[in-house]
Structure 1
C-alpha cells in the first residue's frame, strides 16, 4: 500500500503535468459469508482488506473530465455535459459512473467543475475481491471532498451501487461499496441490506492464530454478464411466487411450502438465499460467543449451497475448497459473485504453507492454470491519504 501512494502521485503528474489536489484510497473486500443475499434485502458479513485502490485527483477550471490509470494505456476525456450512462464504456465507467451518480445525491452536475484523476491499485481484477467497488469508493470519497458535498459513508455506498447498476450495467447490491467504505481493522461489517444498518464485529483471527488465505483461480468473471442477472431474476420470481417483498422475508421454516409451489430450479435458488441469510446470522453469533474457530462449518456449508443450489461455482473453485480443507483449513468457500474468481480458506497459521502447497499441486494435477495465493487482513475503509 505504501508504494501505491508515490506511484499514483507520479502517474498523475506524468499524465497531467501538474500535482494533484490530493490522494484518496479505498480497499477491496472479502465477503466472509453472505453471498447474493444483498440484493435480496438480506444480511452480509464482508470485511475490507489490505489491498487498496488509490486515486490522485485535482479539479479543473472548466467542464472537462480526464481519467487515466495504471492498468489502461488510453486516457478517457469527456465533458460533464456528456456524462450519461449510455456514454460510459469499459473500465472508465466505474469512476465516471460515480461522478454521474453523485448527481442524484446533491451534486449539481451543471455547476460543478471538471476534474482529472489517475487510478492505481493492488486489488486483483476479476478475483471476486471487488476491485470495482474499491475504484468507486475511492473516487466517491475524492469527489465528495473536492465538490464539497458532505455526504456520509452510507450515502457514498449508495452512490457506488448506483454507478455499478446503471453506468456499468451490473445488477449488484450494496455490500461491496459498504465494506469498502465502512471497514475497520480486524473487524467485519455486519450489514442489514434492507435498513442499511451496519455493525462492526471483531473477527479475532489474529488472536486465534488464524489466517485467511485467498486462492485466486484466475478464472475471470464479470457481474455484467448473464449469469448474475439470471440468478437475481430467479430470486425475484421466487419472492413474487411466495407473496413476499423479498427473499429476506422467507424463513427456513417456509422452505417446505416453497418446495411445494416453486419449480425445482427456482426453489434451489430460493433455498440458497434463505439458508445463506441464516448462516450470516449464525456466523455473527458464533464469533461473539465462541470466537472464529467455531465458524468453519458455516463456511463449508455456504460453499456447498453456492455449488449445488445457486450453481455459481466452477471446477477450479471447488477443487480449491476441497483441497484446502483436506490440507488443514478449518473452513473454505468461494467468495464473490461466482462464475470464477477466488476462494477463501480460514487456516491455522502454522498450516498455511501446507494448504498453499496442496492447492498448487492439485491444480497442476488437474491441468489448471496455477492459482495465486496470498493472505489478507481486515483493514480500514476508504480515506483521504494526503
Structure 2
C-alpha cells in the first residue's frame, strides 16, 4: 500500500482564538465584551455505548475548543451571534421555553434556561454572546457539548450564579436533552468541563462521579491520532435507539437494573443471539475500562502501551462484531492504523460514521495518517481529515 501525503490539522492556539472571538464580538456588537470563555471538544478513549447502562467511560478533552465572548446588558434581551453562521438571534430571556429556539442557538439559550433555578430574585438576564466554534462539526468530537459548556461558563460569570462545575455540567445536559431535544448521556459535557491537562477523566455513569487519571502522552513521545472519516451518518437515531433497547432487554432478561451489574458468564444465559451479542459488548467494554484504568494506575502509558493498545483494539472489534455500530470507513481507518504500527486503534463516539483514534508514536503521525489516507483512496472513500490530540484542560475563562 503506497502512502499519501496528508496534512495534520491543528487547533488554533488558545490565546489567539480567544483574541479572535473578542475581536469578532466588537465587530458584531460595537463594544468590548466582559470576557471570553471556552470549552473543549472530547474523544472517548475507551468505554463506548455503555453510558446508558450505568457503565464506565474514559474520555479526554482535546485542544479544539468552542469560544464564547460575552457581555451582560441591563435588559432581559439575549442576543446571539456566531462566526460560523449567519443566524442572528434576539429574544426575551423571560420567554425561553423548550421548542422556542432552533438550531445552534438552542444549545446556548437552553443553558440559560437550565440555569434558571440558580438565578435569584428579579435579576435581569440580558446578555450579548458571540460564538466561535473550533471543534470540527460532524466528526463525533462533541461540538455541541463544547458549545453548551462554553455558554455555561460565560453565563455563570456574567450573572454571578455561584454554581459548581458539576452543576454546570448538569445544566448543559439538561439544555441538550430537554431544551434542544437531542439525546445525550452526559459523558461529553462531563469531559468538556471536568477534564484536566495531561489526564483522562474516569467517569462512572451510575452516579456521575469522576476522577482524573494520568494520561501524559506528550512527555512520553506518544499521541492520539484522530481520523475524521467524513463518512455520512445514516440511520443513526434509529440504530442508536435499537441498540439501547437491546441492552435494556438484556438487562431485564438477566433480572438486573442495568448491565453494569452483569458478568460475562451471565450474558450466556440470554436466549436471543442478537441481544446476547449486544450485552456481551456492554459487559466486556465496562471490564476493558476497568483494566485500562488499572494499567494507568500501575505505571505510565509508555510502560503499558502494548497492553493498552490491545484493549483499544478489542474495544473496536467488539463494537464492530457484537454491537455492529461501525461502517466500512471506520473499519478501514482502524485496520490501516494498525498496519502502520499504531499501538492500538478504535472507533470513538456513537459510530455509524464519525472518527477513529489511534495510540501512536508522536513522530509517526504523518506516516500513520498517510497509510490511512492511502487506504481510503483505494476504497474510493472521501479523503479523511486528521488531528493530533493531547489531553487538554476543561472549560474556563480565557480573557
TM-score when normalising by structure 2: 0.91
Alignment of 1:229 onto 2:244: no
Post-superposition Cα deviations, 1:82-141, rounded to whole Å, max 9, x if no partner, equal 2111112111121111111112x4235974412111111221111111111111111111
Deviation at 1:361, TM superposition (A): 0.7
> How much has 1:221 moved relative to structure 2?
4.1
- Among 291, 296, 301, the alignment partner of 1:287 is 296
The answer to whether 1:115 aligns with 2:115 is no
Q: Hey, what's the Cα distance between the residues in 2 that align with 1:223 and 1:122?
A: 27
Q: Separation in 2 of the partners of 1:8 and 1:222? A: 34
Q: What CA distance in whole angstroms lies between the structure 1 residues aligned with 2:159 and 2:266?
A: 48
Root-mean-square deviation (CA, aligned residues, Å) is 1.8
Q: Is the 8 A contact 2:74 2:124 kept in 1?
A: no
Structure 1 Cα separation of the partners of residues 234 and 143 of structure 2: 12
Contact 2:250-2:275 at 8 Å conserved across structures? yes
Q: 2:280 aligns with which of 251, 260, 271?
A: 271
Contact 1:4 1:121 in 2 (8 A): no
Q: In 1, are the aligned partners of 2:216 and 2:391 still within 8 Å (CA)?
A: no
Of 175, 178, 191, the match for 1:163: 175
Structure 1 regions of 5+ residues with no counterpart? none
Partner deviation per Cα, 1:29-79 (whole Å, 9 max, x = no partner): 111001122222111100111111110111122211111111111112221
Whether the 8 Å CA contact 2:110–2:179 is kept in 1: the answer is yes
SS at match of 1:295: helix
Q: Check if 1:125 corresponds to 2:125.
A: no
How far did residue 224 of structure 1 move? 8.0
Equivalent pair of 2:330/2:347 in contact (CA under 8 Å): yes
- 222-231 vs 33-42, which moves further: 222-231
Aligned residue for 1:201, secondary structure, equals strand
Instruction: Check if 1:14 corresponds to 2:27.
Output: yes
Q: How many residue pairs were aligned?
A: 382
Pairing partner for 2:380 from 357, 367, 385: 367
Aligned-partner Cα distance in 1 for 2:34–2:157 = 10
CA 1:112/1:228 → structure 2, altered by over 3 Å: closer, same or farther?
farther
Kept after mapping to 2: 8 A contact 1:34/1:43:
yes
Please name the residue that 2:11 is paired with: none
2:64 to 44, 47, 51: 51
TM alignment of 1:242-261, pairs within 5 A: 242-257=254-269, 259-260=270-271
CA change 1:268–1:111 in 2 (3 A) is farther
CA drift of 1:162 comes to 1.2
1:203 aligns with 2:212: no
1:183 lines up with 2:195 in the alignment: yes
Contact 1:170–1:224 at 8 Å: present in 2 too? no
**Number of the residue aligned with 1:358:** 371
> How many angstroms apart in 2 are the aligned matches of 1:332 and 1:298?
9
SS class of match (1:12): helix
Partner-residue secondary structure (3-state), 1:343: strand
1:83 alignment partner in structure 2:
96
Alpha-carbon displacement from aligned partner over 1:179-198 (angstroms, at most 9, x marks no partner): 11111111100011112221
1:171–1:223 Cα contact (<8 Å) kept: no
1:195 to 1:111, Cα distance in 2 relative to 1, 3 A: same
State the secondary structure of the residue aligned to 1:225. helix
User: How far, CA to CA, are the matches of 1:100 and 1:239 in structure 2?
Assistant: 35
The separation in 1 between residues aligned to 2:28 and 2:176, in whole angstroms, is 26
- The separation in 2 between residues aligned to 1:223 and 1:385, in whole angstroms, is 38
